Amino acid sequence: MKSVPERILMGPGPSGVHPRVRQAMALPVLGHLDPDFLAVMDDVTRNLRLVFETSNRLTLPMSGTGSAGMETALVNFLEPGEVAVVCVNGLFGERMADIAGRLGAEVVLVEAPWGEAVDPADVEAAVKGRKVKLVAVVHAETSTGVLQPLEGIVRVAHEAGALVVVDAVTSLGGVPVRVDERDIDVCYSGTQKCLSCPPGLAPLTVGPRGEEALDKRKARVSSWYLDLTMIRRYWGRERFYHHTAPVSMMYALAEALRLVVEEGLEARYRRHETASAALQAGLEAMGLRLFVRKDLRLAPLVAVEVPPGVDDTRLRRELLTDYGIEVGGGLGRLKGRIVRIGVMGHSARKRNVMLLLAAMEDCLDRQGFPVPFGEAEQAALSVYRAGGASGEE
């Protein structure tokens, strides 16, 4: 196999993987019904509940990436003809609407401009006079860097008798999700963002209302592979065979979750917040403009506008080839307009933030952007010093 270069992953995902997680993947492969592997599954379930901050019985990782989590959350709780209200303020809200439509649901869109949050009042208007099965919303919109406030939307949905489905792909383990406190019915994520595990599993949790809806389905779930009515039997006491679990990925997730527990959720949230604040301060000191207003910014993913005269493709290419740093470009209607920088999981460290800022200065200067050299690093250091933390795990 061709050698693979070492990269500093500071894009929208995947994030850097902790050495302990990489080592876990090299452990001997066991059968998916081996008692010792079942013990690993139990460990994963227990720690996923801690990270989701829930006591939900049905909490498990789906075999597949975060997109499999999204599809699981919709295919199990929507039947043809039912109404799904989908909040759209970015690409992944659009994707949820696409999946709901493919399931034969009546999809009602509640839209907000990309870079802004969805207004609960608009959701309230959408559910009024309709028998709504579920309201779906992205907590952390990866395409824009917006952190969506959830409380108002959850209240409106429940008052209408609807389930709440939340996409926490880029928030779980990096910012508080608090499933039980916020009364979220179905929540899914991905392993490759703030959990700093390789892509390949989609953590999912389903609350009592969600399980009740699952039990009351009139038709079988249209996806065999993602059918929770069968999969929960494999993860439950029965250990009923459904499919061959990705054993090595489960080892990786088990170790990644142990790292989260060892660090502590609140400490981990503070580390992400500090790293993001330092990065934002540095980018603004450099003369760059951030895409999302301050009160809606998602800490693990910062979207920065591409200044006039700068080629974002060249900028990202030179960061990768000259410094080994990966950042992401804009998606959809934001292509060429923003650069997305991730400070997630193992990548959310002081040395990464400082190196990226110095590299950005160099790469922007090459394109004629007037860089005030050194000011970005000083601004970032001021944030770290004020926080009294090194920013390392």
- In angstroms, the CA 179 to CA 50 distance is 10
Options 3.90.1150.10, 3.40.720.10, 1.10.357.10, 1.10.8.50; which CATH number does 265-386 get?
A: 3.90.1150.10
- CATH 3.40.640.10 intervals, the chain: 19-262
**Residue 389, pLDDT score:** 57
Distances (CA, A) of 197 to 25, 135, 151, 253, 285: 10, 29, 29, 6, 32
In which order are the strands placed within the sheet that holds 338-342? 301-305, 338-342, 328-329
**Residue 173, pLDDT score:** 98
**Residue 388, pLDDT score:** 67
**Residue 169, pLDDT score:** 98
- In angstroms, the CA 175 to CA 262 distance is 17
Along the 393 residues of the chain, how does pLDDT read in single tens digits?
778 899 999 999 999 999 999 999 999 999 988 999 999 999 999 999 999 999 999 999 999 999 999 999 999 999 999 999 999 999 999 999 999 999 999 999 999 999 999 999 999 999 999 999 999 999 999 999 999 999 999 999 999 999 999 999 999 999 999 999 999 999 999 999 999 999 999 999 999 999 999 999 999 999 999 999 999 998 888 888 889 899 999 999 999 999 999 999 999 999 999 999 999 999 999 999 999 999 999 999 999 999 999 999 999 999 999 999 999 999 999 999 999 999 999 999 999 999 999 999 999 999 999 999 999 999 999 999 997 655 565
| Strands in the chain per DSSP E | 8-9, 58-63, 83-88, 106-111, 132-138, 140-141, 146-147, 163-167, 186-188, 201-206, 301-305, 325-326, 328-329, 338-342
**Residue 196, pLDDT score:** 96
CB distance 357 to 364 below 8 Å: no
Residue pLDDT, tens place only, 122-141: 999 999 999 999 999 999 99
- CATH 3.90.1150.10 intervals, the chain: 265-386
**Residue 370, pLDDT score:** 96
Cβ contacts of 109 within 8 Å, gap of 6 or more: 86, 88, 97
Indicate the pTM of the whole model: 0.96
Percent of the chain scored above 70 by pLDDT? 98
| Tokens 């900028």 belong to residue | 315
**What values do phi and psi take at 181, rounded to 5?**
-60, -40
Residue pLDDT, tens place only, 308-317: 999 999 999 9
Tokens standing for residue 129: 């006079």
Options 3.40.640.10, 3.30.70.20, 2.60.34.10, 3.40.50.150; which CATH number does 19-262 get?
A: 3.40.640.10
Residue pLDDT, tens place only, 66-84: 999 999 999 999 999 999 9
**Residue 238, pLDDT score:** 81
**Residue 391, pLDDT score:** 54
